[in-house]
Chains A and B, each alone.
Chain A
Amino acid sequence: GEDVEQSLFLSVREGDSSVINCTYTDSSSTYLYWYKQEPGAGLQLLTYIFSNMDMKQDQRLTVLLNKKDKHLSLRIADTQTGDSAIYFCAESNDYKLSFGAGTTVTVRA
């Protein structure tokens, strides 16, 4: 199956941490990705994790992968107003990516 699910909205105060959650169904996915989309723009690859890893950290971003539960999360530390965007979780299904519906993150002052 190729279903990726995410919560639709997240509101966070500036300076706090944001956590965006995602569940996927294809246990054979090799890579799992997080993309960011700002209004009127394309998709920006934020980070990705290989399926044999549990965690990956990249500056303010931390990705956690629970392969048993098929659960992926993205933590953004010290969230800034520039982090307001839609965040997409995606899994690789062989030759293509399957995306979730996206989580709209709103950062409030």
Chain B
Amino acid sequence: KAGVTQTPRYLIKTRGQQVTLSCSPISGHRSVSWYQQTPGQGLQFLFEYFSETQRNKGNFPGRFSGRQFSNSRSEMNVSTLELGDSALYLCASSSTGTSGRAGEQFFGPGTRLTVL
């Protein structure tokens, strides 16, 4: 099976712009989670989608949003970018079902976002 793919791998934006990142999960996986990784804060949970619905959300401002499509692919959007949004954004795919409990999560290579 192909692994989790994320596009683009690298992005450079300026403050105030918005950005959309994409994630394709492992075939058959219906749960997609997003994490932000920064040197200062480490890995932090953004949100989780299952069957096109956001099931869970981390402690991030409303500028961070996402969605999931019927084929389980997911996008996340960050509007009005700030310097502090520079990070590696990781997507994780899981076969977790309706229980919502986190099982094995398989990560993609990430999108490195730099905000200037």
Contacts and interface: CB of A to CB of B under 8 A. Distances in A.
A43 B93 CA distance: 12
Given A30-B101, A95-B100, A102 B42 contact: yes
A87 interface: no
A94 interface: yes
A95 B107 CA distance: 15
Interface residues of B, number: 24
Contacts of B110: 41-42
B114 to A, nearest CB: 14
Chain A interface, >50% SS class: strand
Interface of B: 4, 6, 33, 35, 42-43, 45, 48, 55-56, 58, 90, 92, 100-110
8 contacts: A42-B107, A44-B107, A88-B43, A92-B103, A94-B101, A96-B48, A96-B58, A97-B102
A92 B101 contact: yes
B22 to A, nearest CB: 14
A13 B102 CA distance: 35
A84 B55 CA distance: 36
B106 A45 contact: yes
Interface residue SS majority, chain B: strand
Given A95-B55, A99-B42, A43 B107 contact: yes
Interface residues on A, range: 20 to 34
Contact of B48 (A31, A95, A99, A102): A95
Contact of B109 (A33, A41, A102): A41
B43 to A, nearest CB: 4
Given A41-B110, A95-B48, 9 more contacts: A33-B105, A95-B55, A95-B102, A96-B56, A97-B45, A97-B105, A99-B43, A100-B42, A102-B42
Contact of B56 (A30, A31, A95): A95
